[in-house]
Chain A
Amino acid sequence: MANNTQPGAAYNFLDVGDKEERHIFAVLVANEPGVLARVIGLFSGRGYNIESLTVAAVSEDDSLSRITIVTTGTPMIIDQIRHQLDRLVPVHEVHDLTEEGAHVERDLALVKVISKSRSHERRESLRIAEVFGAEPVDTTTSSFVFQMTGSPGKVDAFIDLMRELGKVEIVRSGSVAIARGAQHI
């Protein structure tokens, strides 16, 4: 069944021309076993997308964890995701940061670039890293590991450039995000 737009389908969500949007959710959950499984199970069970997901304990007493989820969906699906997350018993707060206003979003990548020692590519990768503010955190004569932090778009751009300069291996944290200004979440 293509695109969930089968005519007359009672089961399929009717697409009324809404475009898919990218949203960032910040979810405060009880820091207890199984919470992440509940969140992930909710997304897979109900067919929602996960672009990235990060989690770590954030409260002083470690009782709360904060999950940042980047997802895509039509406005109605995004609304469902918010309510379905809120329905999970150990979930304390759900915030759609995209909806709630200005926020800072950051992604961290460790980018390993392998190129011949003393080559032009090797020097170039170091220069570009400097332009991007990426910090070399490990080096050998034939490789660098750069620590790159920035908006996901900027991290993407950096990785694309590195790919041209050698064999590249990457690991990314996925997005974390927080509201701008004095407001909570």
Chain B
Amino acid sequence: MTTERAMTGAEVIIRSLIDQGVEVVFGYPGGAVLPIYDELFKQNELRHILVRHEQGAVHAAEGYARSTGKVGVVLVTSGPGATNAVTGLTDALMDSVPIVCLTGQVPTHLIGNDAFQECDTTGITRPCTKHNYLVKDTEVLARTMHEAFYVARSGRPGPVVVDLPKDIQFAECPYIGPDAIKHASYRPQLKGATSSIEEAIEVIANAKRPIFYGGGGIINSGPAAVKKFTDFVRATGYPCTLTLMGLGALPGSDPQFVGMLGMHGTYEANMAMHHCDALICVGARFDDRITGRLDAFSPNSTKIHIDIDPSSINKNVRVDIPIVGDVGTVIQQMKTAWKARKKRRTNTKALRAWWEQIEAWQDVNCLAYSQDKKTIKPQYAIERLYELTKDRETFITTEVGQHQMWAAQFYKFEKPNHWMTSGGLGTMGYGLPSAIGVQVAHPGKLVVDISGEASFMMNMQEIATAVQHRLPIKIFILNNQYMGMVRQWQELLHGSRYSETYMDSLPDFVKLADSFGAVGLRTYDPADLDGLIEEMIAVDRPVIADIGVDQTENCFPMIPSGSAHNEMILGAEAKGFGATGVSEEGMVLV
């Protein structure tokens, strides 16, 4: 499809966004993107959300993308606009979020000249994007735009940067539609090898102590893949654990769900991982937060690994049956093979014994905490939030730290795409802008950013974005006046020397909300908590809820660095930590 009338580069850019089905762009204008902003002004199909910092734009686009499954779009200017976006791009790369980030660039003849607001955007973003482009030729502009979307959403999704010099935006550029694009080299494999699937089914059917270990890849594969995964897990009757990124891939209330695994995962999930004889990893990547000590990770299991990214397989842990493919497609193949199987499907007797063992681990009640009448325990705050929001469609985003882990432990996610958190990069300041993106995509739905006071302050300028665009997000701050997770590590590993982790000179969050035109609420009293949460939900405006919580509470269970899954520390035993505690070698790990 070519156009009759000549278009400018800026027109081609806007047109290709519309043809890609984009509805919202998160951005911040500047000199090098003025022609694009001018075109934005002249049309009504694309909505632009003006953020207050470019990092916020990328996180908002991430929230939008993760809650909808669509590609999130960012538009920023050259130089500082691009460099400010780098944290968000890295975050999206680590968590496999499809993003297309358009950056302005100085005119082509000035590139390399140290021009005003020039930076080597493609050079800087090369290691933190899935791919990037610098468009120096008017002929390839439209093609590059469409290709960027294809690369961002195909295979293992990720961020793609398109760097757009200002002269290209002004120049006449030919337009072609998205249908005309076929990528020369990038075609991810979707279907799993049949022989591997048969092998895997044999292992699954004969397992005595099996466990499913699911990750964000299931969610990225789409709601249909999630349903297939859930069906398959239920058909087997096997226990299932999920990673931080995978929460929602199996309903949190499902009896086969044994909780999150890893460093702050449940005792039962980690013990099951350690003692299993068949480990079925679906769309997860054996991250160091998951495995703990590698040489002691799930020592006696046959490992099956389904992943669309071949480089994820055998990266940290050697697996026995690798299956490269899209989770939805591969699980469908497995379901078919499972149904067609004539031999025995499960070892019922062994499975019963395995579940009894798991139930014994569950009886340890690893998430127990004691709530008194005086101080709000952070776990209690999240439990109450869950109880008071579970009957409506609620989207949860988080920042990074203790509150994030408590949210993962205590909030039960029934559906995919309702949980947005920064897993791989661990970006403090992710949750608030991410909530903005989620709310843009889901008007009228409840969006809560479970936050800590330290993380909140990293991107709190975005409150203004929420107020401006009438996005009634709720920022639920568990305020312990510490960078809680760092403080916890200092307590456990560094002799309680709280070096620079006390959050001195905090603002008055209620007044802060007020000054932004949002609503501020505060309580320190467990008795008032329910009332505050109800009020927070009822208010149809952005809310900052300042929940004063126990300053000394630690997040347990915990696998200390350098330890194995069966060497977890539980809350009640925390005092014995120092004696058995972390080895010299473990101390140097993060």
Q: A residues near B, CB below 8 A?
A: 1, 6-11, 13-14, 16, 30, 33-34, 37-38, 41, 45, 76, 79-80, 83-84, 86-92
- Residue numbers in A under 8 Å from B123 (CB-CB): 37
Pick the residue among A9, A38, A90 that contacts B185 (CB under 8 A): A90
- Residue numbers in B under 8 Å from A79 (CB-CB): 314
Query: Are B311 and A10 closer than 8 Å at their CB atoms?
Result: no
Query: Are B311 and A9 closer than 8 Å at their CB atoms?
Result: no
Query: Are B131 and A89 closer than 8 Å at their CB atoms?
Result: yes
10 contacts between A and B (CB under 8 A): A9-B562, A10-B293, A10-B561, A11-B589, A37-B123, A76-B318, A80-B314, A89-B130, A89-B183, A90-B131
Closest to B150 in A: A89
- Residue numbers in B under 8 Å from A34 (CB-CB): 122, 126, 134
Pick the residue among A10, A14, A76 that contacts B562 (CB under 8 A): A10
Closest to A76 in B: B314
Nearest-neighbour CB distance to chain B for A48, whole angstroms, equals 12
Query: Are A89 and B318 closer than 8 Å at their CB atoms?
Result: no
CB contact under 8 A between A9 and B126, given known A30-B184, A89-B186, A92-B184: no
Per-position binary interface string of chain B over residues 282-296, scored 1 when its CB falls under 8 Å from any chain A CB and 0 otherwise: 000000100111110
Nearest-neighbour CB distance to chain B for A102, whole angstroms, equals 25
Cβ of B585 under 8 Å from chain A: yes
Cβ of B222 under 8 Å from chain A: no
- Residue numbers in B under 8 Å from A10 (CB-CB): 288, 291-294, 561-562, 589
Query: Are A84 and B126 closer than 8 Å at their CB atoms?
Result: no
A92 vs B186: C-alpha distance in the bound complex, in angstroms? 8
A79 vs B589: C-alpha distance in the bound complex, in angstroms? 26
- Residue numbers in A under 8 Å from B552 (CB-CB): none
Nearest-neighbour CB distance to chain B for A32, whole angstroms, equals 9
- Residue numbers in B under 8 Å from A76 (CB-CB): 314, 318
Query: Are B310 and A8 closer than 8 Å at their CB atoms?
Result: no
Closest to A28 in B: B185
Query: Are B563 and A84 closer than 8 Å at their CB atoms?
Result: no
Closest to A16 in B: B295
Query: Are A8 and B131 closer than 8 Å at their CB atoms?
Result: no
Closest to B562 in A: A8
Number of A-B residue pairs with CB-CB distance less than 8 Å in the complex they form: 71
Nearest-neighbour CB distance to chain B for A27, whole angstroms, equals 11
Pick the residue among A38, A80, A92 that contacts B311 (CB under 8 A): A80
- Residue numbers in B under 8 Å from A38 (CB-CB): 126
- Residue numbers in A under 8 Å from B310 (CB-CB): 83, 86-87
Query: Are A11 and B288 closer than 8 Å at their CB atoms?
Result: yes
**Which of A7, A88, A89 has the most chain B CB atoms closer than 10 A to its own CB?**
A89
A121 vs B468: C-alpha distance in the bound complex, in angstroms? 83
Beyond contacts A9-B585, A30-B185: 11 other A-B pairs, Cβ-Cβ < 8 A, are: A8-B583, A9-B589, A10-B288, A11-B589, A45-B127, A80-B314, A83-B313, A84-B311, A86-B311, A89-B130, A89-B185
**Interface residue ranges of B272-306 to A (CB < 8 Å):** 288, 291-295
Nearest-neighbour CB distance to chain B for A7, whole angstroms, equals 5
Q: B residues near A, CB below 8 A?
A: 122-123, 126-127, 130-131, 134, 151, 183-186, 288, 291-295, 309-311, 313-316, 318, 561-563, 583, 585-586, 588-590
Closest to A93 in B: B185
A9 vs B288: C-alpha distance in the bound complex, in angstroms? 9
Query: Are A6 and B314 closer than 8 Å at their CB atoms?
Result: no
Closest to A86 in B: B310
- Residue numbers in A under 8 Å from B130 (CB-CB): 89
CB contact under 8 A between A33 and B134, given known A9-B562, A76-B318: yes
Closest to A45 in B: B127
Nearest-neighbour CB distance to chain B for A22, whole angstroms, equals 20
CB contact under 8 A between A8 and B185, given known A80-B314, A83-B310, A87-B309: no
Query: Are A41 and B127 closer than 8 Å at their CB atoms?
Result: yes
A88 vs B188: C-alpha distance in the bound complex, in angstroms? 11
Query: Are A14 and B295 closer than 8 Å at their CB atoms?
Result: yes
A79 vs B107: C-alpha distance in the bound complex, in angstroms? 42
Closest to A42 in B: B127
Closest to A6 in B: B585
Closest to A33 in B: B134
**Which of B126, B183, B590 has the most chain A CB atoms closer than 10 A to its own CB?**
B126
A112 vs B562: C-alpha distance in the bound complex, in angstroms? 54
- Residue numbers in B under 8 Å from A84 (CB-CB): 311
Nearest-neighbour CB distance to chain B for A33, whole angstroms, equals 7
- Residue numbers in B under 8 Å from A91 (CB-CB): 185
CB contact under 8 A between A8 and B311, given known A33-B134, A92-B184: no
- Residue numbers in B under 8 Å from A11 (CB-CB): 288, 589-590
Interface pairs A-B: 5 shortest CB-CB:
A8-B562, A83-B311, A89-B131, A10-B288, A92-B185
A6 vs B586: C-alpha distance in the bound complex, in angstroms? 10
Nearest-neighbour CB distance to chain A for B566, whole angstroms, equals 14
A87 vs B130: C-alpha distance in the bound complex, in angstroms? 9
- Residue numbers in A under 8 Å from B122 (CB-CB): 34
A92 vs B309: C-alpha distance in the bound complex, in angstroms? 16
A14 vs B315: C-alpha distance in the bound complex, in angstroms? 11
Query: Are A87 and B311 closer than 8 Å at their CB atoms?
Result: yes
- Residue numbers in A under 8 Å from B134 (CB-CB): 33-34
- Residue numbers in A under 8 Å from B131 (CB-CB): 88-90
